[in-house]
Amino acid sequence: MKFNLLAGRLASCLAILLPALAAAQTYPTKGIRIIVPFATGGGTDLMSRITAEEMSKSFNVPVIVDNMAGAGGTIGARQAARAAADGYTLMSGTPGTIVINPHLMKEPGYDSIRDFVAITQISGSPGFLIVNKDFPATSVQALINMARKDPGSINYASAGIGSFLHLSGELFASLAKVKITHVPYKGTSPALTDLAAGRVQIMFNLLQPDDPFVKSGAVKLIAIGTPSPSPAFPSLPTIAATVPGYETSTWLGLFAPVGTPQVVIDRVYRTVSAAVKLPTTRARLATAGGGEPVGSSPAEFTTFVADKYREMGELVKVTNMPKQ
- Domain shared by 61 and 150, yes or no: no
Q: Do residues 57 and 104 share a domain?
A: yes
Residues 29 and 119 in one domain: yes
Q: What angle do CA 199, 204, 207 make, to 5 degrees?
A: 100
Q: Are residues 36 and 66 in the same domain?
A: yes
In a domain, 7, yes or no: no
Residues 114 and 169 in one domain: no
What pLDDT is attached to residue 41?
Answer: 84
CA distances from 265 to 28, 31, 33, 154, 155 (A): 11, 16, 14, 46, 44
Residues 65 and 91 both lie in one domain: yes
Q: Are residues 288 and 139 in the same domain?
A: no
Which of 163, 191, 224 terminates a domain? The answer is: 224
Which pLDDT does position 213 carry in this prediction?
Answer: 86
Instruction: Note whether 69 and 156 are same-domain residues.
Output: no
Answer whether residue 93 is part of any domain: yes
Domain annotation covers residue 5: no
pLDDT at 179: 96
- Host H or E run for residue 310: helix 298-319
236, part of any domain: no
- The count of other CB atoms within 10 Å of the CB of residue 80 is 27
Q: What are the pLDDT tens digits along the chain (324 aa)? A: 544 555 555 555 544 444 555 555 689 999 999 999 998 888 899 999 999 999 999 999 999 999 999 888 999 999 999 999 999 999 999 999 999 999 999 899 999 999 999 999 999 988 999 999 999 999 999 999 999 999 999 999 998 888 889 999 999 999 999 999 999 998 888 999 999 999 999 999 987 656 788 889 999 999 999 888 887 788 899 999 999 999 998 899 999 999 999 999 999 999 999 999 999 999 898 887 667 899 999 999 999 999 999 999 998 888 887 777
Question: Residue 155: its pLDDT value, please?
Answer: 97
Q: Are residues 121 and 132 in the same domain?
A: no
Instruction: Identify whether the C-beta of residue 282 lies closer than 8 Å to the C-beta of residue 54.
Output: no
Residue 164 CB coordination number (10 Å): 23
How many domains is the chain built from? Answer: 2
Last residue of a domain, one of 224, 241, 262: 224
Residue 49, C-beta contacts closer than 8 angstroms, at least 6 positions apart: 65
CATH number at residue 307: 3.40.190.150
Are residues 141 and 57 both part of a single domain? no
pTM of the predicted protein model: 0.84
Can you give the pLDDT at residue 84? 98
Quote the pLDDT of residue 50.
95
Q: What residue numbers bound the domain in which 308 lies?
A: 24-125+249-319
Is residue 138 domain-shared with residue 191, that is, in the same domain?
Answer: yes
**What DSSP string describes 90-118?**
EEEE-HIIIIIHHHH-S--SS-TTTSEEE
Whether residue 112 is found in the same domain as residue 256:
yes
